[in-house]
């Protein structure tokens, strides 16, 4: 039986497709007509079956789910946004459509990639929680993986962490510990959850092997790169003001996620790694490979 990956051309989704294909497991990838053709060709080169569709098109989801044993959804409007995409249409309505389509198609297992509850109210979080609740009550066997901060995203120039130029933007004081995780490890854990009954009907928080403050992360990079970083702070008051004043739900959500970063989040992975044994990437490993 085939595994359907939704969000297959994204950072995490493409890695999940690669791991499944490498493990000899049949993979079907949902791609949009507007998806990057190079990324589609890369999937095809792995032997991945391509299904055309869109989270905003319920009938295409039902067709994609037909015959699938499992669905893994990593899709979000936050990083790859196209015309008509929004938190409302993709992260909420689209994901609800996908769950319902999977139920109609009698899919055995639904794996949803999410993030842990945050003590801040913003649109993306509201969408994630509603989708999780819908999945739990759907009757489908589910696994909800709530991953913290992807190193490849939060420790990248796009968010002000520019290791190549020894510059780091830190949100908040930089003194609160967070369990930074590699998206590649999230992909491994998602694949490992497919055939593991201990992951069924479970909500599992995912973090890396150690909890570090943003300033400790900077010090690791300074040590690895052999140079002092220029550190700039974005105060929590500024982030709170952005959350209140932003008119766009996506901007509000970015402010909310940055507040989440400033507060930190420590995830104890000991029990999870007993159920899903995966070798986790450390921040130092990531810094050396960057």
The enclosing domain of 74 has a CATH number of 3.40.50.720
Residue 127 lies inside a defined structural domain of this protein: yes
pLDDT score for 97: 97
Residue 133 lies inside a defined structural domain of this protein: yes
| pTM of the predicted model as reported, rounded to 2 decimal places | 0.95
Q: What domain range is 73 assigned to?
A: 2-149+182-208+266-275
Strand partners, 170: 233
Share of the chain above pLDDT 70, in %: 98
Q: Using alpha carbons only, what angle is made at residue 185 by residues 181 and 189, rounded to the nearest 5 degrees?
A: 120
Buried (b) or exposed (e) across 159-198, using 16+ Cβ within 10 A? bebbbeebebbbbbebebebbbbbbbbbbbbbbbbbeeee
Residue 154's closest CA among 206, 217, 112? 217
**Stretch 214-225: mean pLDDT:** 98
End-to-end, the C-alpha distance of the chain in Å comes to 37
CA distance 83 to 203: 32
CA distance 264 to 192: 26
3-class secondary structure, 106: coil
CA distance 9 to 43: 8
**Stretch 85-96: mean pLDDT:** 93
CA distance 53 to 97: 12
Q: How many domains does the chain have?
A: 1
Residue 5's closest CA among 93, 117, 109, 88? 109
Rounded to 5 degrees, what are φ and ψ at 133?
Answer: -60, -40
More confident residue, 84 or 237: 237
Residue 290 lies inside a defined structural domain of this protein: no
Residue 89 lies inside a defined structural domain of this protein: yes
Residue 167 lies inside a defined structural domain of this protein: no
């Amino acid at each position: 039986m085939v595994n359907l990956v939704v969000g297959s051309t994204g950072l995490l989704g493409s890695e999940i497709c690669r791991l499944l294909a490498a493990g000899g497991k049949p993979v079907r990838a949902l791609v949009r007509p507007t998806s990057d053709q190079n990324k589609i060709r890369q999937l095809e080169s792995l032997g991945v079956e391509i299904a055309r569709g869109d989270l905003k098109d319920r009938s295409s989801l039902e067709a994609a789910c037909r015959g699938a044993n499992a669905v893994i959804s990593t899709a979000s409007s936050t990083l790859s946004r196209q015309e008509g995409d929004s938190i409302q249409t993709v992260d909420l309505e689209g994901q609800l459509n996908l769950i319902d389509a999977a139920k109609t198609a009698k899919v055995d297992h639904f794996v949803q990639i999410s993030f842990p509850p945050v003590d801040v109210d913003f649109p993306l979080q509201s969408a994630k929680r509603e989708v999780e609740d819908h999945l739990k009550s759907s009757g489908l066997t589910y696994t909800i993986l709530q991953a913290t901060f992807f190193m490849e995203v939060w420790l990248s120039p796009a968010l002000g962490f520019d290791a190549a130029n020894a510059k780091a933007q830190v949100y908040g004081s930089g003194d609160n510990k967070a369990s930074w995780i590699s998206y590649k490890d999230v992909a491994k854990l998602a694949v490992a959850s497919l055939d593991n009954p201990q992951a069924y009907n479970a909500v599992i928080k995912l973090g890396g092997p150690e909890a570090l403050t943003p300033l400790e992360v900077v010090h690791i990079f300074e040590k690895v790169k052999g140079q002092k970083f220029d550190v700039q702070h974005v105060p929590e008051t500024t982030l709170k003001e952005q959350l209140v004043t932003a008119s766009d739900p996506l901007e509000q959500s970015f402010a909310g996620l940055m507040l989440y970063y400033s507060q930190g989040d420590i995830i104890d992975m000991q029990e999870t790694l007993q159920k899903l044994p995966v070798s986790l990437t450390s921040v130092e490993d990531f810094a050396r490979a960057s």
